[in-house]
Amino acid sequence: MREAPIGVFDSGVGGLSVLGEIQRLLPNESLLYVADCGNIPYGEKTPEFIRERCSVMAGFFREQGAKALVLACNTATVAGVADLRRDFPDWPIVGMEPAVKPAAAATRSGVVGVLATTGTLQSAKFAALLDRFAADIKVITQPCPGLVELIETGDLHSAELRTLLQGYVAPLLAQNCDTIILGCTHYPFLKPLLRSMIADDVSLIDTGDAVARQLQRLLAERDLLAQRPSQAVKFWTSGDPQSLRKILPLLGQTASNVQNFDL
């Protein structure tokens, strides 16, 4: 079981920002990645729809013999992780959530901005996170429709993307925000572009590395850490395998075989 793979999924390529962190921290682990590109964006879908997709993904990874599951998607986590943990109580399941706690600890101006999908920002789980960790700071939330779709085409710095992103970041900076939470796994790929728009003393925080460490902890507790060097990552997409294959190298993955996911 130690050498069994780990299932990782997202609505698209965003979860590759998390996959990269897992590969860095746990180079022995064999990884399976599903990009649900045929159903992107999750951020504009109903929680019921996303819960159904989470259940399909879990079923697929169980069939593949996965020893653990990573929801490399904030939107899928807020909608679906509770049901998955109820349905698979003995399976290590790692979800993501916007980094409100570390941002609240880091801010000096007392103003934190959150860039995330509409679905994440509207969820009860996000509201609970604010109640728990952000009582003493001001949090400005900013949904970012359109960013995910551009990133999915491999666009990380076009003029169109820059204008869209500028429009989302400007209101945060105007309110003296010094810490910006990247609350969607697609957004870490925009860090270079974002850095060119904000002052050096504004921090960008995401949770990919924390998720990789949490996965490591859960596997270690169960004596499930792989001991032998891993195989290449296996990729599936419910969208067009050819276009995913093309984008992979832009997002830190070596081009590999991408299979059709038609569940």
Task: Provide the annotated active-site residues.
Answer: 73, 184
Identify which of residues 30 and 120 has a Cβ nearer to ligand DGL in the complex: 120
User: Which three-class secondary structure state does DSSP give residue 54?
Assistant: helix
Alpha helix stretches (DSSP H) within 64-199: 74-87, 100-106, 118-121, 124-133, 147-152, 159-174, 191-195
**Minimum distance from CB of 31 to ligand DGL (Å)?**
17
Where along the sequence are the contacts to ligand DGL (CB under 6 A)?
10-12, 14, 40-43, 73-75, 117, 120, 148, 184-186
Identify which of residues 67 and 186 has a Cβ nearer to ligand DGL in the complex: 186
Q: Which residue is nearest to ligand DGL (CB)?
A: 43
Binding site annotation covers 260?
no
Residue 41's identity, in one-letter code, is: P
Binding site annotation covers 43?
yes
For tokens 């081009």, the residue is: 255
Identify which of residues 212 and 226 has a Cβ nearer to ligand DGL in the complex: 212
**Minimum distance from CB of 90 to ligand DGL (Å)?**
26
Picking from 36, 68, 63, the residue whose alpha carbon sits closest to that of residue 236 is 36
φ, ψ at 53 (rounded to 5°): -65, -40
DSSP code of residue 113: E
C-alpha pair distances (Å), 98 with each of 2, 4, 72: 30, 29, 12
For β-strands 179-182 and 203-205, DSSP reports them as parallel
Binding site annotation covers 74?
yes
**Minimum distance from CB of 7 to ligand DGL (Å)?**
16
**Minimum distance from CB of 26 to ligand DGL (Å)?**
20
Picking from 70, 43, 11, 38, the residue whose alpha carbon sits closest to that of residue 218 is 70
Identify which of residues 27 and 49 has a Cβ nearer to ligand DGL in the complex: 49
Binding site annotation covers 75?
yes
Q: Binding site residues, as ranges? A: 10-11, 42-43, 74-75, 185-186
Q: Binding site residues for substrate, as ranges? A: 10-11, 42-43, 74-75, 185-186
